[in-house]
């Protein structure tokens, strides 16, 4: 069974978040998971957003001790950076219980589990820069 | 070239005849329009066809084929013959393959044939509620397993799926059948959203028989939330008795006041309806999903894109040859889906566009 997760990463954490994405992903190409920060909050802080369906043991893998992926035979992944990113992930929407709305800040990577990514983004009030300008 | 229907006067009456092409050895039957014709002389361009599963792969290297709705798509092979395949190496940015019946999705539920999946179908009410375990009888109806509704000492039991509906009129329906001692019992069926008292619920009493019966109920919800399928046995109707059960299956929740034909929903990308053709599509999440197409040289041309909503034509100019198929969140015509996509070099003629548009509509573009 799959579930959608929408990840909101503050600008300052993009580099380490991409190393975490490589550990949880499938190849070195996943270093481009978090691109240019094109989303912002009401205070003007910038974020990059990724949204994807995840399967099976993703959540367990993402919250367990990280291991260097098998494909990474030449140490492309900076595991220290990946671990730093993992320690800053804040999960919302998995408890199955009513939860307070998630709160966005520049110190954490928010992982919002909800089938509609735009609903999830609306909960924290982050807006796409181009949409806001239109 | 299509077959041509003509009339011939034989001197006494008018005869109808069809002209067909002769290739020197046999007549060639008329062929439906296919986009191959746009590329048969080596013309530049691309043709992506999500209905052809042989062209879809979960990874960008093409090692894992797409086999089921809901899977990511990292590679779409180009069917134009030019090998301008569309790829997405980044796992989180891959579109998702989906199917939906022509006419669109009405059943808002998911996992409609997994009523025993308690992570999707929660249950409540007094003592044991409805267990909705698969029926021990080899009972299949409408292509679905039947589920056993046990009601022990509780007089009200309910099931609510892991989806939410908004406010306004909704209709919740399913099929029920009595088994053994429950045959002839009257049950009350009613619906509301969780948070119940805020909704306007309606109810009706049904008598269980040994035949499958479609029961429906419409309610106007004044508060959104998870819709409940509630059943009462006892409390003014009949208590079916401890250890007895009846069967339920084919649940559907839809907007409006009418219960329509059942649609099976596996997940949001996997919706089918018996007797209705399925439309195959790629879904981009309008956040970060996209596909890269590398022409290897400057490309200026016309793109025709069929989505679930429409067929649109637009021009592109990519001097570096690298084009990205990504949805435009600001366009009301762009819903992030791709049923079919064709790009040709230069300006596509209106005649070709009409043919391509008709082809894509046959594939289900514009629903």
Q: Which chain B residues touch A4 with a CB distance below 8 Å?
A: 285
Q: Quote the pLDDT of residue B197.
A: 45
Residue B323: count other Cβ atoms within 10 Å of its Cβ: 21
Is a pLDDT exceeding 80 seen at residue B153? no
Contact assignment for B91 to A26 by CB distance below 8 Å: yes
Q: Among candidates B279, B270, B273, which has minimal Cα distance to B360?
A: B279
Contact assignment for B329 to A128 by CB distance below 8 Å: yes
Facing B330 at nearest CB: one of A30, A121, A131: A131
- Tell me the per-residue pLDDT of B190-243, one tens digit each, with 9 for 90 and over: 777 765 445 555 678 889 999 999 999 888 888 888 888 877 776 677 777 777
Is a pLDDT exceeding 80 seen at residue A134? no
Q: Does residue A132 belong to the interface with chain B, where contact is any CB pair within 8 Å?
A: no
Q: Among candidates A67, A57, A59, A65, which has minimal Cα distance to A22?
A: A67
Rounded to an integer, the average pLDDT of B246-272 is 94
Residue B152 in tokens: 């022990």
Confidence of residue B127 (pLDDT cuts 50, 70, 90): very low
Report A:91-130 residues touching B (Cβ under 8 A). Answer: 115, 117-118, 121, 128, 130
Interface predicted TM-score (ipTM)? 0.91
Confidence of residue B21 (pLDDT cuts 50, 70, 90): low
Is a pLDDT exceeding 80 seen at residue B12? no
Q: Quote the pLDDT of residue B122.
A: 79
Is a pLDDT exceeding 70 seen at residue B131? no
Is a pLDDT exceeding 50 seen at residue B1? no
Residues 6+ apart with CB under 8 A from B271: B98, B99, B100, B101, B105, B107, B263, B264, B265
Facing B70 at nearest CB: one of A2, A6, A130: A2
Q: Quote the pLDDT of residue A8.
A: 98
Facing A33 at nearest CB: one of B59, B72, B92: B92
Q: Among candidates A16, A37, A131, which has minimal Cα distance to A82?
A: A16
Q: Among candidates B177, B173, B247, B241, which has minimal Cα distance to B207?
A: B177
- Between A61 and B69, the more confident residue is B69
Rounded to an integer, the average pLDDT of B3-26 is 67
Is a pLDDT exceeding 60 seen at residue B343? yes
Q: What are phi and psi of B46, to 5 degrees?
A: -140, 155
Q: Among candidates A130, A125, A81, A90, which has minimal Cα distance to A110?
A: A90
Rounded to an integer, the average pLDDT of B92-113 is 96
Closest-CA distance, A33 to chain B, in angstroms, reads 6
Residue B202 burial class via C-beta count within 10 angstroms: exposed 0-12, middle 13-18, buried 19 and up: middle
Contact assignment for A50 to B329 by CB distance below 8 Å: no
Instruction: Tell me the sheet residues that pair with B240.
Output: none
Give the residue from A14, A17, A29, A127 with the most B CB atoms within 10 Å of its CB, the best one to mutate. Answer: A29
Is beta strand B140-141 parallel, antiparallel or unpaired with respect to B156-161? unpaired
CA-to-CA distance for B291 and B87, rounded, in angstroms? 5
Confidence of residue B129 (pLDDT cuts 50, 70, 90): low
CA-to-CA distance for B277 and B99, rounded, in angstroms? 10
Q: Which chain A residues touch B96 with a CB distance below 8 Å?
A: 53
Q: Quote the pLDDT of residue A50.
A: 97
Q: Which chain B residues touch A121 with a CB distance below 8 Å?
A: 287
Closest-CA distance, A30 to chain B, in angstroms, reads 5
Is beta strand B299-306 parallel, antiparallel or unpaired with respect to B340-345? antiparallel
- Between B333 and B72, the more confident residue is B72
Whether B7 contacts B17, CB under 8 Å:
yes
Contact assignment for A52 to B94 by CB distance below 8 Å: yes
Residues 6+ apart with CB under 8 A from B17: B5, B6, B7, B8
Look-up of token digits 């066809």: B49
Rounded to an integer, the average pLDDT of B41-61 is 96
Closest-CA distance, A75 to chain B, in angstroms, reads 19
Is a pLDDT exceeding 70 seen at residue B28? no
Q: What are phi and psi of B4, to 5 degrees?
A: -115, 125
Q: Which chain B residues touch A52 with a CB distance below 8 Å?
A: 72, 91-94, 285
CA-to-CA distance for B231 and B192, rounded, in angstroms? 11
Weakest mean pLDDT among A20-29, A74-83, B61-70, B187-196: B187-196
Confidence of residue B159 (pLDDT cuts 50, 70, 90): confident
Rounded to an integer, the average pLDDT of A98-103 is 87
Report A:32-91 residues touching B (Cβ under 8 A). Answer: 32-33, 35, 49-53
Q: Quote the pLDDT of residue B225.
A: 82
Closest-CA distance, B291 to chain A, in angstroms, reads 14
Q: Which residue numbers of B have CB closer than 8 Å to A's CBs?
A: 59-60, 70, 72, 89-94, 96, 119, 267-268, 285-289, 329-330
Residue A91 in tokens: 């999960």
Mean pLDDT for chain B?
85
Q: Which chain A residues touch B93 with a CB distance below 8 Å?
A: 32-33, 50, 52
Q: Which chain B residues touch A128 with a CB distance below 8 Å?
A: 329
Residue B357: count other Cβ atoms within 10 Å of its Cβ: 18
């Amino acid at each position: 069974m799959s579930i959608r997760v929408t990840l909101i990463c503050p600008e300052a954490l993009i580099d380490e978040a991409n190393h975490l994405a490589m550990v949880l992903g499938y190849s070195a190409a996943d270093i481009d998971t978090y691109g240019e920060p094109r989303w912002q909050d009401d205070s003007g802080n910038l974020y990059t957003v990724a949204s994807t369906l995840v399967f099976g043991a993703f959540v367990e893998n993402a919250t367990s001790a990280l291991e260097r992926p098998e494909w990474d035979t030449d140490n492309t992944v900076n595991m220290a950076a990946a671990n730093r990113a993992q320690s800053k992930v804040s999960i919302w929407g998995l408890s199955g219980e009513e939860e307070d709305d998630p709160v966005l800040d520049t110190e954490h990577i928010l992982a919002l589990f909800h089938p509609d990514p735009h609903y999830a983004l609306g909960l924290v009030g982050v807006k796409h820069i181009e949409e806001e300008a239109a | 070239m299509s077959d041509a229907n003509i009339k011939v006067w034989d001197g006494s009456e008018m005869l109808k005849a069809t002209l067909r092409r002769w290739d020197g050895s046999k007549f060639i039957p008329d062929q439906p329009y296919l986009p191959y014709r746009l590329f048969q002389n080596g013309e530049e361009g691309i043709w992506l066809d999500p209905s052809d599963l042989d062209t879809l792969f979960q990874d960008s290297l093409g090692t894992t084929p797409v086999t089921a709705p809901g899977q990511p798509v990292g590679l779409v092979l180009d069917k134009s013959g030019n090998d301008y395949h569309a790829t997405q190496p980044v796992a989180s940015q891959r579109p998702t393959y989906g199917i939906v019946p022509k006419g669109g999705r009405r059943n808002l539920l998911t996992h409609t044939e997994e009523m025993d999946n308690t992570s999707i179908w929660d249950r409540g009410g007094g003592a044991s509620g409805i267990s909705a375990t698969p029926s021990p009888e080899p009972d299949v109806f409408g292509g679905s397993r039947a589920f056993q509704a046990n009601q022990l000492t509780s007089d009200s039991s309910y099931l609510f799926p892991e989806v939410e509906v908004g406010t306004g009129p909704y209709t919740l329906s399913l099929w029920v059948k009595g088994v053994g001692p429950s045959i002839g019992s009257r049950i009350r069926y009613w619906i509301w959203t969780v948070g119940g008292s805020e909704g306007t619920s309606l109810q009706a009493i049904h008598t269980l028989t040994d035949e499958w019966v479609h029961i429906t109920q419409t309610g106007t919800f004044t508060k959104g939330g998870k819709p409940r399928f509630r059943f009462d046995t006892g409390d003014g109707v009949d208590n079916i008795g401890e250890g007895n059960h009846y069967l339920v299956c084919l649940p559907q929740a839809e907007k409006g006041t009418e219960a329509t034909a059942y649609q099976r929903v596996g997940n949001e990308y996997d919706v089918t309806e018996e007797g209705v053709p399925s439309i195959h599509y790629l879904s981009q999440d309008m956040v970060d999903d996209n596909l890269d197409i590398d022409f290897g040289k400057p490309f200026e041309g016309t793109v025709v894109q069929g989505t679930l909503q429409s067929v649109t034509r637009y021009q592109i100019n990519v001097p570096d040859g690298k084009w990205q198929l990504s949805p435009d969140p600001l366009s009301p015509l762009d819903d992030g889906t791709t049923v079919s996509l064709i790009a040709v070099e230069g300006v596509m003629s209106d005649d070709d566009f009409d043919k391509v548009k008709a082809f894509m509509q046959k594939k289900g573009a514009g629903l």
